[in-house]
Structure 1
Amino acid sequence: MSTLAKLRTEAEAAAELKCSVAKLRKLRAAGRLAFMPGRPVLIPEAAFLKLQHEEAEIAYARWEKRKHKKRGTKPPNPNEDPHAETRRRAILAWLRHRGPVVLRHLAKPAGRRTRT
């Protein structure tokens, strides 16, 4: 692969991040985004992916902060397993299939068991 295939212009990066070019310029000025100076300004793929991950974490943290105030669409947590919900549903379906015996066993408090 050539080096040019791994570089993006500011406009391309802004379109993929769904933000403005001005925001990317501010991020560059703040030192949060690596770039290659010139005309046009080019952004390396690694720096773009790092910024994309950081922005996802910021969006999730912002949502976590306001979730008790307002219910909204939850952005995906970048640190969470994407298949955890599917696994949880499969386990619950298996438990329902197994019957109330397993659920009763799980509902008992841990510690000393007494005979009745």
Structure 2
Amino acid sequence: MAEYFDEGCSRRSSWLKRPAASALMAAAGSVDCGFDAVIVGEYERAFCGNQFRDVLAALAARGIQLWLPEAGGPVDLEDPAHQALMLLLGSQSRREVLRARHRVLAAMRTQACA
């Protein structure tokens, strides 16, 4: 088992541009990978936009499952319920990014006025 966590990186950045996520993808692509599943603890902190599909496809091509607590285990995009869940989670992630941006800009305006 290994833990990969990108601290201080925007979820809007590609997984290949985040140090820990990039290391995970490199490990997944190595000949002696040593794991057959990646468990993402919280969708909203890991993905934004279409990143989920890209990461899932890259891992699936290597025979590695992607697990999400929200899916109750491995994600299966052949399952209509999982397809709907991924759309919902993607929308929530984008909404959270916009909400955070709004809070930061409001705080900056308040500080500038003060």
Considering the TM-score relative to the shorter chain, is it more than 0.5?
no
The structure, 1 or 2, with the larger RCO (C-alpha pairs under 8 Å, 6+ apart) is 2
Larger radius of gyration: 1
